[in-house]
């Protein structure tokens, strides 16, 4: 048996494939365009009989048709996406193309493939669309966490493009009967995350004794889920979820960004003290907040817990400590992804040198 995964060279895709195969899962065909945030080295050790990498664009209908016909996957896990809010503000077009047109293209190709399947393949087929809690917008400080019934109120080009994908996926279930499953997760962290995102950016800059740029007052609250917990949730939904349903996956770990940074710095103060007794937190600098910055996200995972038995296994303190240690002890990986393009992005975004 085979599953088709899109975006498998990215952070969540890499961890999903590694977890899937470690659990004895099906062979994976991995479709990824291998853009700046994708890293084939993450998966290069996998045997070819278990993992086939295909470089290609999810907007390429002909390629999608060919992969579905040739490999006859039992499921499609659609993780490919442009995902960095900051980049969506400065360049929204690629987000519309990948996250909306790419999702539409893949849904159309999958629908055509699925409609031609014989039973029982047709009944057992699944399409998993991986989305984000950001489609729900921003929560007030005392508001209850997002549920699957929360209104869709995206506030950035990124979240709006993912919300459009949500609506497309839902419509393909309602209109055509395609067995679609949708998930929304809270902020992920863990190994292999590209260091444009908050936690790896702070860890890598602190290790290099560079400024730690904090947007605005740093009081933006996020619910953090370790990526290994998230991909366990995805596997549960793919294997046991009810077609047409949406499932939210959170980490039970709400924390303000400035407090997350304080925890990272405290871990590094013990693991790798700075010279002269200086604290890593002394490197923090507050920079102009980004436009439309959501103040709070929080996810209610009660449905996922009650129906599929999901509970996060990582506490935030333990998961964060393990993540700091991973980046600290994998300098070659960090060097491989912090290319000239990455350094140029940092200079543009935060006016940071080096």
Residues 349 and 287: their CA atoms lie apart, in Å, by: 10
Of the residues 82, 134, 166, 196, only one is catalytic, namely 134
The pLDDT of residue 289: 94
Q: Which pTM was predicted?
A: 0.95
**Over residues 136-148, mean pLDDT:** 97
The pLDDT of residue 344: 66
DSSP 149: T
Residues 131 and 30: their CA atoms lie apart, in Å, by: 18
The pLDDT of residue 38: 85
Of the residues 32, 82, 133, 254, only one is catalytic, namely 133
Of residues 156 and 337, more confidence is placed in: 156
Of the residues 129, 136, 158, 247, only one is catalytic, namely 158
- What whole-number percentage of the chain has pLDDT above 70? 95
pLDDT-wise least confident of 32-36, 115-119, 162-166, 260-264: 32-36
CB contact at 8 A, 254 and 186: no
Total count of residues recorded for the chain: 354
- Give me the sign of the Cα torsion angle 299, 231, 102, 192: positive
Largest Cα separation within the chain, whole Å, is 70
Q: Is the pLDDT of residue 353 over 50?
A: no
Q: Is the pLDDT of residue 269 over 80?
A: yes
Residues 293 and 296: their CA atoms lie apart, in Å, by: 9
Q: Is the pLDDT of residue 343 over 60?
A: no
Q: Is the pLDDT of residue 336 over 80?
A: yes
φ, ψ for residue 194, nearest 5 deg: -65, 135
- Domain map (residue ranges) of the chain: 2-190+224-252+298-313
* Alpha carbon distances (Å) from 251 to 107, 186, 196, 301, 305: 29, 7, 21, 8, 12
- Whether 129 sits among the annotated catalytic residues: the reply is no
Which homologous superfamily does the CATH classification assign to the domain defined by 2-190+224-252+298-313?
NAD(P)-binding Rossmann-like Domain (3.40.50.720)
**Over residues 124-153, mean pLDDT:** 97
How do residues 306-334 score in pLDDT, each as one tens digit? Answer: 999 999 999 999 999 999 999 999 999 99
Q: What is the mean pLDDT of the chain?
A: 95
pLDDT-wise least confident of 61-65, 125-129, 192-196: 192-196
Nearest to 78 by CA among 22, 131, 148: 131
- Whether 239 sits among the annotated catalytic residues: the reply is no
**Over residues 238-245, mean pLDDT:** 98
Residues 192 and 15: their CA atoms lie apart, in Å, by: 8
Residues 85 and 16: their CA atoms lie apart, in Å, by: 22
- Whether 229 sits among the annotated catalytic residues: the reply is no
pLDDT-wise least confident of 113-122, 188-197, 345-354: 345-354
The pLDDT of residue 217: 97
The pLDDT of residue 223: 97
Nearest to 80 by CA among 93, 66, 90, 94: 94
């Amino acid at each position: 048996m085979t599953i088709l995964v899109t975006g498998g060279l990215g952070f969540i895709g890499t961890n999903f494939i590694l977890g899937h195969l470690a659990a004895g899962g099906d062979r994976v065909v991995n479709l990824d365009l291998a853009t700046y945030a994708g890293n084939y080295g993450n998966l290069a050790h996998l045997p070819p009989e278990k993992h086939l990498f295909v470089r290609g664009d999810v907007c390429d209908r002909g390629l999608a048709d060919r992969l579905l016909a040739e490999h006859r996957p039992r499921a499609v896990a659609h993780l490919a996406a442009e995902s960095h809010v900051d980049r969506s503000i400065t360049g929204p077009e690629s987000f519309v193309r990948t996250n909306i047109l790419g999702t539409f293209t893949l849904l159309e190709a999958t629908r055509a493939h699925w409609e031609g399947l014989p039973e029982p393949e047709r009944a057992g087929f699944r399409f998993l669309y991986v989305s984000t809690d950001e489609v729900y917008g921003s929560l007030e400080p005392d508001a209850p966490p997002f549920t699957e019934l929360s209104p869709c109120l995206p506030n950035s080009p990124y979240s709006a493009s993912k919300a459009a994908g949500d609506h497309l996926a839902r419509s393909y279930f309602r209109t055509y009967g395609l067995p679609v499953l949708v998930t929304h997760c809270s902020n992920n962290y863990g190994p292999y995350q590209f260091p444009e995102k908050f936690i790896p950016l702070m860890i890598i800059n602190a290790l290099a004794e560079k400024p730690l740029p904090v947007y605005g007052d740093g009081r933006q609250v996020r619910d953090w889920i370790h990526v290994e917990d998230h991909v366990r949730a995805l596997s549960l939904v793919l294997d046991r979820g009810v077609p047409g349903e949406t499932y939210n996956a959170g980490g039970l770990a709400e924390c303000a960004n400035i407090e997350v940074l304080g925890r990272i710095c405290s871990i590094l103060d013990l693991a790798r003290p700075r010279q002269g007794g200086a604290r890593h937190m002394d490197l923090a600098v507050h920079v102009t907040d980004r436009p439309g910055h959501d103040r709070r996200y929080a996810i209610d995972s009660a449905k996922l817990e009650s129906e599929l038995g999901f509970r996060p296994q990582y506490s935030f303190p333990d998961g964060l400590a393990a993540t700091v240690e991973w980046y600290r002890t994998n300098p070659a990986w960090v060097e491989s992804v912090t290319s000239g393009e990455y350094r140029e992005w940092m200079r543009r975004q935060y006016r940071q040198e080096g």
